[in-house]
Amino acid sequence: MKKLLVPAVLLFSISAFAQQSFSIKGQIRKLDDQKIYLERTIGKMQQVLTDSCISKSGSFKFIGTVPPEDIMKAIVRNADGSFRVKFVLEPGTINFNGAADSTGWIFARGTTSNDSYYKYIQDGSDLSAEYGEIMAKIRKAKKTIDSVNIDKYIKELRANEVAGQERSIAFIKSHPTDINSVFQTMDLTYTMKVDQLEALYKPLSENVKKSFVGRMVKDKIAAMKIISVGAIAPEFIMPDTNGNIVSLSSFRGKIVLVDFWASWCGPCRGENPNLLAAYNKYAGKGLKVLAVSLDTNEGKWKKAIEEDAMPWTQISDLQGFSSNAARLYGVSAIPMNYLIDKNGKIIAKNLRGEKLQEFLEKVQW
């Protein structure tokens, strides 16, 4: 059985701005002779097929030059996706080694940005393993309807996430010229305040800021200022599960939590029991929830709604992160939510775990 779990690296090299040579060499055990594809991401995160070759006994090679366009990431994969690795496409020799039936990760090695990311992941391997264990416990507790332990595990998950955020911040501050830092900054845009993000972004090198993702972060910060606490929540409309058009403004006069989530998002699903508890407690006072799914598969979206027993309004245009509402609110990672008052003003955002009920307790209903 071919199975490979690969991290979404989402990186590219500062030196990719110059037209320089690269060589990609793969030696993947248990990978049959088959076609291997090289793709790069340019422009608005569009994947473009760059090259292909036939692997021989698991060995393959690509050579070329790094194009002058903004490259955000590159991928090597086979046709069915059982082998797929994301990496930094940059000048130099990039090596892949591993097994196609491995349950571990295969990383790109050999160049500055890839080695930097590899070290970062290795240094945080215990934290990553702990995160996986906690999520497994949450899933098991949900199946047995073990609400007491679910609350306990969610607290453990929050502590793990805080530790992960601290690691990211430390990396960014100590690596201002590393393109990985701007990706770490992007990851933090849904958990940190805009002034904190600006403080991390400002010291980054000009080359990093001029990169595609660097400009994305700049735009994200600008969007966050527009949708900051105290601002009027931007209007959007979207179909619900029955195809009926729902607008945010239709909730005017009520306290509404706009919750961005997806069926495939483990942390979102882990947060749903807490959201359901808050809803059951405050629905009688007038709390409404408008869940905006970033799914692309209608069946999986509706199945998750049923599995998690979510009784509130569910909408989606099935466009993933390209969703109109996601772009409007600058959502680059989930779960993410915005609490909006009766007059349409944003009064809080990213309320998770105990923080949600603590804030709702102070709301003037």
Residue 319 confidence (pLDDT) above 50: yes
Mean pLDDT, the chain, rounded, equals: 86
Strand pairing of 59-65 and 21-29?
antiparallel
How far, in whole angstroms, is CA 178 from its chain's centroid? 20
For residue 25, the model assigns a pLDDT of 95
For residue 23, the model assigns a pLDDT of 95
Residue 3 confidence (pLDDT) above 80: no
C-alpha to C-alpha distance for 349 and 333, rounded to whole angstroms? 14
- DSSP class per residue in 39-94: EEEETTTEEEEEEEEE-BTTEEEEEEE--SS----EEEEETTSSSEEEE---SEEE
C-alpha to C-alpha distance for 351 and 360, rounded to whole angstroms? 10
pLDDT tens for 50-65 read 899 999 999 999 999 8
- What DSSP character marks residue 158? H
26 close to 61: Cβ distance less than 8 angstroms = yes
Query: Which of 231, 244, 260 has its CA nearest to residue 343?
Result: 231
| CATH no., domain 14-110 | 2.60.40
Q: Where are the domains of the chain?
A: 14-110, 124-174, 180-226, 237-360
Q: Residue 269: enclosing H or E segment and its boundaries?
A: helix 266-282
Q: Which residues of 23-33 are buried (b: 16+ CB within 10 A; e: fewer)?
A: ebebebeebee
pLDDT tens for 87-111 read 888 889 999 998 877 655 788 999 9
Instruction: Give me the architecture of the 237-360 domain, per CATH.
Output: 3-Layer(aba) Sandwich (3.40)
C-alpha to C-alpha distance for 247 and 19, rounded to whole angstroms? 48
